[in-house]
């Protein structure tokens, strides 16, 4: 198993542009020796840095070779396929895709959406029994990192259920016994679930990696002819197919929560989510359930996708896939546990520095009064004071300040002249 972190920096490619800092929602980046490295204990694995890095220095751990190794073993391997697959593999028909995946060596292909339906059913049964308050969905692993690391006081608000992928893996083992489970989806943070307590997944692949497996085996849709219809096993999912879009989880729960004394809201996008968590609404006379996703639009806009199509188009493809769902070919019965307590990540303890230290750090880079604080953002931080704090945290270097370095260069030039 590859022990490398889910996201890492290839230092030789880092160009000192600070774009990753600028876009990181939690500033979990440290500049050291002119290279931007990720502070994994502070990272929420949203994948923003991977998406925006112009030189490709921020990389997603590639587990393709591990997948190939597992597929060659004697133990049957089942693929848990995330419900946003129609976006990334729209050139394949359903029959072609399942056939191609089986040609790779997967014994069966199953929809993670089945696990989503189990989670929805468990949550719909659990929520009415709870006291009035605010409850937050646990399906987005990046959100879980965000809350546990930066809003630990809200950890008790996370609903105590495993992610759909974890539940789906347990469900598949309940049916098929001793098997190997590989999950594939658009999410980078999903790779961190392998370290969760009671993890049931052997390996997580991004859709980019799954596509790489297909490309390596020359399994292109134009050359695939299936002799017989292929199907997801044990049967096709229904309302769980809506989970990738924001509001999809709530939509799947509608039949079970009608008339419940609760309010339901859905929000996506890291800045929206941070704003909500910072000012969590109170619900004194009932229950408020929040479906929160860090990717704008939901999982249809994940960093591990193969495509950069518009969110609107992606959303439409998921809606169309939901509408084309067949009726259940079997009964979704699950006897295992869906329970998960979210208390296994350490909170990030930010330091508060005395004002005199902030002022001294600003003075060291030539900012002696408020008008000197340009707040240009060239260093990657929104304000000069944020940058000064990052310097004190040893996450930033004075040389990152453009105006300071320009002044230093001018002074040297003046001496030479």
pLDDT in tens, 180-194: 999 999 999 999 999
CATH number of 352-417: 1.10.15
Q: What's the rounded mean pLDDT across residues 313-334?
A: 86
In this structure, how many other beta carbons lie within 10 angstroms of the beta carbon of residue 344? 12
User: Given this model, what pLDDT does residue 172 score?
Assistant: 98
pLDDT at residue 1 tops 60: no
DSSP calls for 207-257: HHHHHHHHHHTT--GGG---SS----SS---SGGGGTTBTTHHHHHHHHHH
Query: Which pLDDT does position 2 carry in this prediction?
Result: 61
At 326-351, the pLDDT tens digits run: 766 567 899 999 999 999 999 999 89
Q: φ and ψ at 108, to 5 degrees?
A: -145, 155
Q: Which residues pair with 37 in a beta bridge?
A: 30
pLDDT band at 173 (very low <50, low <70, confident <90, very high): very high
Instruction: Give the model's pLDDT for residue 194.
Output: 96
CA 166 to chain centre: 15
Same fold, 1-61 and 352-417: no
Which residues have C-beta within 8 Å of that of residue 238, sequence separation ≥ 6? 113, 117, 325, 327, 328
What is the rounded average pLDDT of the residues 355-384?
A: 94
d(CA 302, CA 280): 25
What span, in angstroms and rounded, lies between the C-alpha atoms of 167 and 344?
18
Torsion of CA 56, 190, 26, 16, to 10 degrees: -10
For residues 160-174, give the mean pLDDT: 98
Percent of the chain with pLDDT over 70: 96
Structural domain boundaries in the chain: 1-61, 64-323, 352-417
User: Which is nearest to 162 in space by CA: 189, 196, 133, 129?
Assistant: 196
Domain 1-61 in CATH 3.40.250.10? The answer is no
Average pLDDT in the chain: 93
Rounded Cα distance between 176 and 404, Å, is 63
Residue 171 has what pLDDT? 98
Structure tokens at 108: 């069966």
61-111 per-position pLDDT tens digit? 999 999 999 999 999 999 999 999 999 999 999 999 999 999 999 999 999
| Residues 322, 86 contacting (CB under 8 angstroms) | no
* Residue 265 to residue 276: CA distance in whole angstroms: 11
Tell me the pTM: 0.93
Average pLDDT over residues 349-366: 94
CA-to-CA dists, residue 187 to 82, 90, 207, 377, angstroms: 9, 18, 8, 29
Tens of pLDDT, residue by residue over 19-67, are 999 999 999 999 988 899 999 999 999 999 999 999 999 999 999 999 9
């Amino acid at each position: 198993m590859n022990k490398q972190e889910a996201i890492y920096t290839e230092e030789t490619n880092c160009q000192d542009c600070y774009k990753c800092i600028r876009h990181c929602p939690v500033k979990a980046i440290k500049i050291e020796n002119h290279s931007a490295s990720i502070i994994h204990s502070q990272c929420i694995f949203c994948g923003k840095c991977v998406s925006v890095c112009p030189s490709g220095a921020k990389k997603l751990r590639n587990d393709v070779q591990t997948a190939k190794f597992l597929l060659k073993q004697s133990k049957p391997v089942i693929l848990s396929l995330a419900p946003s697959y129609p976006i990334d593999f729209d050139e394949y028909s359903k029959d072609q895709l399942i056939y191609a995946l089986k040609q790779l060596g997967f014994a069966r292909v199953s929809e993670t959406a089945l696990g989503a339906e189990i989670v929805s059913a468990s949550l719909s049964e659990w929520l009415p029994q709870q006291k009035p308050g605010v409850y937050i969905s646990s399906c987005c692993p990046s959100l879980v990192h965000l809350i546990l690391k930066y809003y630990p006081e809200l950890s008790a608000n996370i609903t105590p259920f495993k992610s759909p992928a974890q539940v789906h893996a347990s469900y598949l083992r309940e049916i098929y016994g001793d098997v190997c489970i590989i999950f594939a989806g658009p999410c980078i943070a999903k790779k961190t679930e392998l370290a969760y307590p009671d993890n049931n997944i052997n390996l997580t692949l991004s859709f980019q990696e799954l596509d790489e497996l297909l490309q390596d085996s020359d399994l292109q849709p134009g050359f695939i002819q299936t002799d017989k219809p292929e199907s997801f096993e044990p049967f096709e999912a229904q309302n769980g197919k809506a989970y990738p879009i924001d509001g999809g989880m709530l939509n799947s729960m509608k039949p079970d929560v009608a008339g419940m004394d609760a309010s339901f809201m859905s929000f996506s996008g890291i800045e929206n989510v941070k704003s909500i968590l910072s000012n969590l609404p109170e619900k004194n006379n009932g229950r408020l359930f929040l479906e929160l996703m860090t990717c704008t639009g939901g999982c249809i806009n994940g960093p591990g996708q193969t495509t950069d199509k518009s969110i609107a188009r992606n959303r439409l493809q998921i809606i169309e896939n939901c509408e084309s769902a067949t009726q259940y070919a079997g009964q979704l019965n699950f006897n295992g546990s869906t329970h998960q307590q979210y208390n296994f990540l350490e909170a990030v303890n930010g330091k508060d520095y005395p004002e005199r230290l902030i002022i001294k750090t600003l003075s060291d880079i030539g900012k002696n009064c408020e008008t000197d604080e340009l707040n240009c953002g060239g260093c990657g931080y929104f304000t000069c004071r944020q940058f000064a704090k990052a310097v004190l945290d040893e996450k930033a270097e004075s040389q990152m300040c453009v105006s300071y370095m320009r002044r230093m260069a001018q002074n040297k030039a003046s001496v030479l002249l």
